[in-house]
Amino acid sequence: MSDVSLLIQLLHAITNDDEITVCDGKYDPTHPLVNAAMYLANVHLTGDDGFDVIYELKKKEVHVYPLEQDRFGWLIGAIELNRGIIVFG
């Protein structure tokens, strides 16, 4: 299984787990599933192949977008799920 497939599975698990805390619209980064998704997002969405991975996620109807950027690119990104966002970067 590729890391991108694992990220997609984690996002589905997070979406289906109503017991994960969401505060101010952000999923709790200390929850193990959220923390793992953040790690994979940092590795795969911020590297040289980041836009290819984002395209793959969008094909799976996962909304990924920048929260903060400068003239060089994204500084902080977000993955939008049903109850909030996962912040990475």
Which whole number is the average pLDDT over 46-71?
Answer: 88
Higher pLDDT, residue 29 or 56: 29
CA atoms of 85 and 63, how far apart (whole Å): 10
Q: Is the pLDDT of residue 68 over 80?
A: yes
Q: Are 10 and 57 in contact (CB under 8 A)?
A: no
Q: Note the pTM of the prediction, 2 decimals.
A: 0.90
CA atoms of 20 and 23, how far apart (whole Å): 10
